[in-house]
Structure formats: C-alpha cells, structure tokens
Chain A
Amino acid sequence: MTQHTSNLDQAVATLLTPGGLDLNGLETGLSHAMSAGIDYADLYFQRSWQEGWVLEDGQVKEASYNIDGGVGVRALAGEKTGFAYSNQITADALMDTGKTAASIVRSGKKLPGQAVTPVSAAACYASVDPIAGLSADEKVAMLKQADRVARASDPSVSQVSASLSGTYEVVLVRASDGTLAADIRPLVRFNVSVIAVKNGRRERGSAGGGGRYSMAKLRDAGVAERYAKEAVRQALVNLEAVDAPAGQMPVVLASGWPGILLHEAVGHGLEGDFNRKGSSAFAGKMGQRVAAKGITVVDDATIADSRGALSIDDEGTPGQNTPLIEDGILTGYMQDKLNARLMGMAPTGNARRESFAHLPMPRMTNTVMLAGQDNPDDIIKSVKRGIYAVSFGGGQVDITSGKFVFSASEAYLIEDGRITAPVKGATLIGNGPDVMGRVSMVGHDMALDPGIGVCGKEGQGVPVGVGQPTLKIDELTVGGTQS
C-alpha cells in the first residue's frame, strides 16, 4: 500500500531522525536487547500530540496541549519479560534500555538476526493529523454551538459542559522476528454533559462519540447539535425516572453501546494471557458451547475509522477480524505474540499498550455480536415484566469467577410487552458463561457504539469499541432499590 510506505517514511522522520537515528541504527539498538538467552525483543517508538478543549458556562474554560513520546524496549525469554523505556530516542537510550530489558537472563544461546520484513497491512483509517483538521476558532465555535443548542432545548437545563479532544499518534515497531511496521493513528472525541433541574430534582445527561478521523469530520457530521440534544433528552428522561426494581428478571439490551455486556461478560475472559495462565472462567473451553445457539461474537479491528480500529497492533501484527464465538461455540482467543507462541497459536493483532512506557498485552479492539433474525419490537413484546436498558456508564469483570457488572444510565420498565416508565440507573450483575447461555432473542439491528469506550486492564487504558443488536436475556439480576 502506498499509505504503508508513506507511514514508514513519516514515522522515521518523526521518531528517529530528530535523535540522529535511522532504520539501520535500529539493528544495533535491537542487538543490545537480543543478548544471549533472549528469544525475542522489540523496540516500540511512539510520539503523540493531544489537544483538549472544555467549555463551561458558555465559555471555553480549559484548553490544553500535551506532547508525549519515547521508546519502550522489551526482551522475552520463555515466559519471562524484561522491560525498560526512555523519553529519549537516541542510540545511547536504546543501548541502556536494551541492556536493562535483556538483564532478565544472564546466559543462553544468542539467536541470529532475522531479515527485516516490512509489514504490509490494509489501512483501517487515514493517516491524518486530526487536530489540524479544524482551526482553533472552528473548534471554539463547535463547543459554543453545543452549549447554545443544549440551552435552547429545554428550560430545565441549568449546566452545559462540552469537550473536544484529539490525539495524533505516530508509532514504529521493530522486532527481532524481522517485523518493521509503522502506523499513524488519529483519534477524536466530542462530548456533551448537561444538568437539568426541575421540581427540586437534579439529573445529568450525557452523550458523545468519535473515532479515528479528523476533527473536521466531527464538525461535518453535526455532532455538536446531535450530542447536545441527546444529552438533554437523557437528562429529561432521568428527571422522570422512578426507582428501579431489584431482583431477577428478563432484560432487553438496546443495540450499540450496551454491547459492553460482551466486552465484560465474554471479551476479557477470551484474552490469551488469562487463558494461558488458566485464570479465566473460559480457560480450556475451546470448541465447547459457551453461549446460546445463534450467537456469534467477533473482535474486529478492521471496522473503518472506528474508535477500536487498528491497522497494525502494537507489535506490528496487522489488525484482523477474529471470530471468538461462532453459533455459540468458543472458537478463538485474542492473542499477542508472547501468549500465541506459548499456546501454540497465531497472533491475532490484539497486542495493545497504553504507550511506549507500558508493556503490551492481549486487548480487545471492537468487540461485536453479529445481527440475528428477530425484530426489535417483537423482542420488547415478548417480555411481560422486565427492564429495557438503553445506555450504560461502565462495567467490570472478575475473569476468574466470571462475575461481571455493568451500570445502566438510561433504562425503562417493560410491562406487558410495552416500554413504560423510565427507571433510575441500576447495576446489572451476572456470570459471563451463564448469561451468554440465556440470550434467547437476537435482533437484526446490529449497531456500533458511537465511539466512547475506554478499556482498563492492569492499569492501562486503551480506546475500544463495542457493537451488538437488540438482545433479550431471559434472566439477569437488576440492582434497583424496589424489592
């Protein structure tokens, strides 16, 4: 791909040239880490520029700019990993960090170097600087528009906060297996949060989204107006919310962002590291039924321009569409090189790291349940008494016991097949393998989330996406206050 070549040239110019390095200089750098006894080593160069704007009280109150960068050097020997990093990208820094990373083993065979193989991958997003896509005046105008639209939407709106952020990231990976890969990753996000006050009650509503593209696309898509109206709508719904019920009942999840169910209930449990270590509730279940028939779940890094997309992962493996569960049967794990090698599997392009200063791990990209056959209206009609959950705050899972939670921020009662009163936010709790077996209806309306997810694992945050159609879970525990 032409984009691939230009990405590499640009990465070299951005990351290596300023410190007096070039691609040949990386061979020497890598040789420090590939000392006797080391099976594999990699150098991960990164530089990122992040800009953030926050509007409150109708004015831009905060504007910030952050520059981060450096090199992380990793050396592997069997199941051992040595890791060091530096803010400096120079030959000296590569020598220091390389020797430090390699100090996990003192002896063994020195492996020969592999011929360099530039990685060729299809681009899942354009190599643009998203921050340069709009002028500062245009960014301020977008934020002010969100404020105006929100305040004009309803007299009960008392506070409006809007934010715009963009990150431009340049990455270069050079590994001892010959890998040479570069990526240029844009990421933008627009968010609106409002407080509405009525009859002494105060509620929040929020909406947002984004992806791997220019800030100009956010403006052209009209997100300021759309998210402002959506945030106000959600706050007004919550002003009318009654106490949520407590106990086990059918739960219908709307399409899109409620897919964090998948992320928590099955996604983390199918990451290669937990399965290699045998600490996941899904360990040893390959080829077995782990979900109801009709359920197919994939992790798809190739969804163009999406927040979770990756053209190459942080080890230089091309991003892929990896089947995890096919028609209810567990068929795949998400892998990085270390865990794939130790499990005798192939890497799946799921190695991710928060930055050069963090170790890569198997992580999700866009975790998606494919569409089924059911009409969403029929799914609602099939429920006598239950909950219809539309939006969620966040979730968490204990991968060992399989218990997971996710917290609804907009939900409704279903009574006799009809959506009725909004209910206050409540946490839903279940056990991943159980719940996936209780999915009885799958809608034909698969949708991706708007681009808002951040996944945390071992203290590292990475952007992710989720997607799913409308789903019916026959029984799930709803943590309301009305027992």
Chain B
Amino acid sequence: MAQAFDANAQQSVLAARAQEALALAKHLGADAAEVGASVDQGVGVSVRLGEVETVELSRDQGIAVTVYVGQHKGSASSTDAGSDSIRATVEKAMAIARYTGEDPAAGLADAELMARDVPDLDVHHPWALSTEEATELALSCERAGREVSGITHSDGASLSTGEGVRVYANSHGFWGTQKGSRHSLSCMLIAEDDNGMQRDYDYTSVRNPSELRDPADVGREAARRTLRRLGAKRPATGTFPVLFDPSMASGLVGHLMGALAGGALYRQASFLCDRLGTPLFPEWFSLEERPMEMGAMASSPFDGEGVKTRDNRFIEQGKLASYMLSSYSARRLGMQTTGNAGGARNLRLRAPLSSFETLLQEMGRGIWVTELMGQGVNSVTGDYSRGAAGFWVENGEVQYPIEEFTIAGNLEQMFADLRAVGNDTDTRGSIHTGSWLIDNMTVAGS
C-alpha cells in the first residue's frame, strides 16, 4: 500500500508549474512575481490498546503565487495543480493586486542576494515502509510502555512517515528546490491513583529513519514520564527559581525569536524594539543559526524568497546582535535582510553547559517545570504567565510532582536572570537547547 512517490519526477513537475505561473504573470502584466509549489506525501498509523485504530494516507499539494504590479502586491493560492487552476490562481492574484496600496517596501528580494548554488543538505531520506511494518513499530512501542508496572491505560502510539518536495521560483530567474523527509513515533500513556488520572508522552522525530529511537525505548520513557506525575500536589504561592526542561526552554527561545522577527518589530509589536546592541542575556550566552547544517531539521540553502541563507548570531556574548529579517521587514526598518524569510533555521546555543544534577544543586529549592499550558505570553510587553506542571525541588533533590500552578514574570527579566544551561540538549526540533535555570519567578499555587 506504500504509494509511489518519485521525488525527482515531482521536482521537475513542480518546477515546470512554477515557470508556467511566472510566465503567465509576466504575460498578464506583472512587473515581478514569485511562486512556491509543494507536494507532500505520507502514511500515518495509530494504535491503541494493542489494536490498529487509524491508517491515514496523505497527499497534499499546493501552489502559491505573489505578483507585483508596480509597488502593488497580490497573492493567491490553490491546492489544485492543473493548468486551468494555475491560470485562475495567477489571474486572481493580478486582480486582487489592483486593490492593494502602493507600498515602497514591496517587491522581491534583491537579485544579487539569491542563493547561487543549492547543495544537498542530506535532509531527504524516504522510508519505504508498509502499513504492516508501520503498525508493528507502533504496536511494539505501546506494548513496551504498557508493560511497565503502574500503567493502567493508553492513549495509543502513532507512527508517521512522509516526504515532500518544494520549489520556489521568482522573476529574477532564481529557482530552488528541496526534497525532505520526516519520520516520527510517539506514545501517550495513562496511569491512575486515588487522586485521578495522569498522562504523559514521549516521541522521536527524525529526517533519517536509521536515527529513529528504539520504539520500546519511546514507550518505556512515556511510561516513566506518566508514572512520575502520580500523587502530584500543588506548590505554595511564592517566588522561586524555575528550572525549564529542554523542551520548555526551547519555547523560551521561540518567544525570543518571535520578538526579534522583523514583522513584529516594524509593527512595534515586540518588547525588543530598539534594543539592538544592548545586553539581554548574561555575557556567557550566545545564540546562533546554522541553516546549512547537514541533515538537520530546518536546513535550507535558501530562504522563503530565494535569499542565500547564512549563519546568523542573534545573541553575541549576551547582547542582542541581530534581528531576524526578511527583505520586506528589512526595508521597513531601513536594514538588510538576514536571510530569514520564513523564520529561523536550526538555532544552537553557545554557552557553558552544566549537568542536570549540577543545575538542581545550583537551584537548591525551587520548581522544575516539565510541562507548560496555554498562551499567556504577551509579545508586545514580554509579560509571561503560563500554567505549568513539574516537580518540587528541595536541597538540590527532586521531592515530589506538582501541578495546577502558574509561573509568571517578564521575558526580558527572565532572560537577564538566566543562571545556567544544561547539557541535556534536546535535538528533536529545529531549536537545540538543554534545560534553563532562571532565578526568581512568581509561582501561583495553593
């Protein structure tokens, strides 16, 4: 049942469609145009309590066209890729461009910034997996988790595998294409005691299937994470240091990058407006972007408008060294693009790293946060207030699970109060970081 997917053939088809759309835009009077086209295909299998629950086959495609008529911009997109539909999409983009205002900053990125060569970054590793094999992997993952004593119930395990091709082309004559793959396996389990049920999960997500973690290990880790939450209490209200688990710390990096994004800055919707060159973190902390890293989750030689990507240093020895800009936001701010149309690619910390035990020792008495809930982050002011669950730490040792509390502060103060970073780096996403120990946050509990 594995569907045939010839990535190279798809690449040619998409490139031809993109060229067709660009030619049509020019023919209809566009001064400049850009086109993104993609095809993704995948299989997802989920199992629960030892039985198959769903088998999903996905195949998504789309084409998005932006035209510029003078300094007026219009966009249209479609999931239908026939020639009639391409024509309709371009015509719609042209029609709608008549109603947008004249924007001096509108337009393609400068031609000389286009990526010249597009090397293979080792991010395409398709997995020819039958439904039966996928099912067996998910079943063995859940089975290992359910075998752990104390696990009473399961929310199931899922395996998904997919690959895709995307093409970006513009009227400078640039066109770039990338093939990519992603495979993941996750498991969520439930345990129960007199206080009620708790659930938690674990997952593995990779570009190359040979790097997928052992399914049984994922299941057992999901069980361990679930069981350790049983018997949770509520912490007292007060001010304590907070240790953020790596996956929670990567969320803090995400909030930072959101505030450094050009779109937030020119709209004055960031708490980091006008802060370039000023200290934000302790001096020992730097943050960089490595878009050309081989095999990494977000690697790409060109950004969302064809600009050659480059290594960026956003935080240099604690200081805010660079914003994250596309050419549009750069023009609005009177700056140069940083090759970040479409966001940051592969963020890495440069900081001295401590073992988790050292972080606990350094914290002494406080809160280790392993889960955050809700959207309580105000990007305009940096005010931060989120629901949390985790563990109470006393004398540098984990005491008992805690839940139903909030942690609050302001991101600017939290960044300044970063005391140490752990060596327990989570490499599953595009942001790689270990745990973060932050002084003095307000905890609201019982």
**B-binding residues in A (CB < 8 A):** 51, 56, 58-70, 79-87, 100, 103-104, 136-137, 139-140, 158-159, 161, 195, 197, 201-204, 244, 246-248, 277-279, 281, 357, 359, 393-396, 398, 400-407, 424-427, 429-431, 477-483
A61 to B71, CA, bound (A): 10
User: In the complex, what residues of A have CB within 8 A of residue B190's CB?
Assistant: 279, 400
A398 to B189, CA, bound (A): 13
Give the Cβ gap from A211 to chain B, nearest Cβ, in Å: 23
Give the Cβ gap from B188 to chain A, nearest Cβ, in Å: 9
| Minimal Cβ-Cβ distance residue in B for A63 | B96
Is A80 a contact partner of B54 (Cβ separation < 8 A)? yes
Is A64 a contact partner of B76 (Cβ separation < 8 A)? yes
Is A279 a contact partner of B444 (Cβ separation < 8 A)? no
Task: Write 18 A-B pairs (CB below 8 A) sorted by A numbering.
Answer: A64-B74, A64-B75, A64-B76, A65-B93, A67-B76, A67-B88, A81-B54, A83-B55, A103-B55, A203-B381, A247-B445, A359-B54, A359-B56, A393-B375, A396-B387, A427-B406, A477-B406, A483-B443
Is A279 a contact partner of B383 (Cβ separation < 8 A)? no
Is A203 a contact partner of B380 (Cβ separation < 8 A)? yes
Flag whether B133 is at the interface (Cβ < 8 A). no
**Residue-wise interface mask of B (370-383) relative to A, using a CB-CB cutoff of 8 A (1 in contact, 0 not):** 00011110101101
Task: Assign chain B's interface to a size class.
Answer: 35 or more
User: In the complex, what residues of A have CB within 8 A of residue B76's CB?
Assistant: 64-67
Is B409 a contact partner of A481 (Cβ separation < 8 A)? yes
Q: Interface-forming stretch among B45-53, B167-175, B245-253?
A: B45-53
User: In the complex, what residues of B have CB within 8 A of residue A61's CB?
Assistant: 73, 100-101, 103, 106
Flag whether B267 is at the interface (Cβ < 8 A). yes
A158 to B168, CA, bound (A): 35
A424 to B54, CA, bound (A): 44
10 smallest beta-carbon distances between A and B, as pairs: A479-B406, A59-B101, A405-B387, A405-B374, A427-B376, A246-B444, A407-B376, A64-B75, A400-B199, A247-B237
Is A483 a contact partner of B101 (Cβ separation < 8 A)? no
Is B373 a contact partner of A84 (Cβ separation < 8 A)? no
| Minimal Cβ-Cβ distance residue in A for B380 | A204
Residue among B73, B271, B273 with the highest chain A CB neighbour number at 10 A: B73
Give the Cβ gap from B37 to chain A, nearest Cβ, in Å: 13
User: In the complex, what residues of B have CB within 8 A of residue A139's CB?
Assistant: 99
Residue among B56, B99, B385 with the highest chain A CB neighbour number at 10 A: B385
Is A401 a contact partner of B101 (Cβ separation < 8 A)? no
User: In the complex, what residues of B have CB within 8 A of residue A404's CB?
Assistant: 373, 387
| Minimal Cβ-Cβ distance residue in A for B386 | A427
User: In the complex, what residues of B have CB within 8 A of residue A69's CB?
Assistant: 79-80
Is A401 a contact partner of B103 (Cβ separation < 8 A)? no
Is A62 a contact partner of B100 (Cβ separation < 8 A)? yes
Is B378 a contact partner of A427 (Cβ separation < 8 A)? no
Give the Cβ gap from B8 to chain A, nearest Cβ, in Å: 21
Q: Which of A197, A357, A424, A477 contacts B60 (CB 8 A)?
A: A357
Is B75 a contact partner of A62 (Cβ separation < 8 A)? yes
A242 to B74, CA, bound (A): 43
**14 more CB-based (< 8 A) A-B contacts, given A66-B78, A477-B406, A479-B387:** A59-B103, A61-B100, A61-B103, A63-B96, A66-B77, A67-B80, A79-B51, A87-B59, A359-B56, A400-B190, A401-B199, A430-B404, A477-B444, A479-B385
Is B373 a contact partner of A398 (Cβ separation < 8 A)? yes
User: In the complex, what residues of B have CB within 8 A of residue A140's CB?
Assistant: 99
**Residue-wise interface mask of B (381-396) relative to A, using a CB-CB cutoff of 8 A (1 in contact, 0 not):** 1010111010000000
Give the Cβ gap from B22 to chain A, nearest Cβ, in Å: 18
User: In the complex, what residues of B have CB within 8 A of residue A68's CB?
Assistant: 78-79
User: In the complex, what residues of B have CB within 8 A of residue A51's CB?
Assistant: 96
User: Given A244-B385, A401-B198, A202–B442 Cβ distance below 8 Å?
Assistant: no
A481 to B403, CA, bound (A): 18
User: Given A403-B404, A481-B408, A63–B74 Cβ distance below 8 Å?
Assistant: yes
Give the Cβ gap from B133 to chain A, nearest Cβ, in Å: 14
User: In the complex, what residues of B have CB within 8 A of residue A394's CB?
Assistant: 374-375
Is A159 a contact partner of B267 (Cβ separation < 8 A)? yes
User: In the complex, what residues of A have CB within 8 A of residue B383's CB?
Assistant: 424-425
Q: Which of B75, B238, B373 contacts A483 (CB 8 A)?
A: B238
Flag whether B322 is at the interface (Cβ < 8 A). no
Flag whether B407 is at the interface (Cβ < 8 A). yes
User: In the complex, what residues of B have CB within 8 A of residue A63's CB?
Assistant: 73-75, 96-97, 99-100
A425 to B377, CA, bound (A): 9
Give the Cβ gap from A18 to chain B, nearest Cβ, in Å: 10
Is A247 a contact partner of B444 (Cβ separation < 8 A)? yes
Is A82 a contact partner of B442 (Cβ separation < 8 A)? no
Give the Cβ gap from B66 to chain A, nearest Cβ, in Å: 9
User: In the complex, what residues of A have CB within 8 A of residue B348's CB?
Assistant: none
User: In the complex, what residues of A have CB within 8 A of residue B238's CB?
Assistant: 483
A248 to B406, CA, bound (A): 11
User: In the complex, what residues of A have CB within 8 A of residue B239's CB?
Assistant: 483
Q: Which of A58, A84, A278, A480 contacts B56 (CB 8 A)?
A: A84
Flag whether B92 is at the interface (Cβ < 8 A). yes
A378 to B270, CA, bound (A): 40
A272 to B48, CA, bound (A): 16
Is A403 a contact partner of B155 (Cβ separation < 8 A)? no
Flag whether B1 is at the interface (Cβ < 8 A). yes
Flag whether B269 is at the interface (Cβ < 8 A). yes
User: Given A197-B268, A401-B196, A479-B386, A60–B405 Cβ distance below 8 Å?
Assistant: no
User: In the complex, what residues of A have CB within 8 A of residue B77's CB?
Assistant: 64-67
Give the Cβ gap from A235 to chain B, nearest Cβ, in Å: 9
User: Given A64-B76, A401-B198, A425-B376, A83–B442 Cβ distance below 8 Å?
Assistant: no
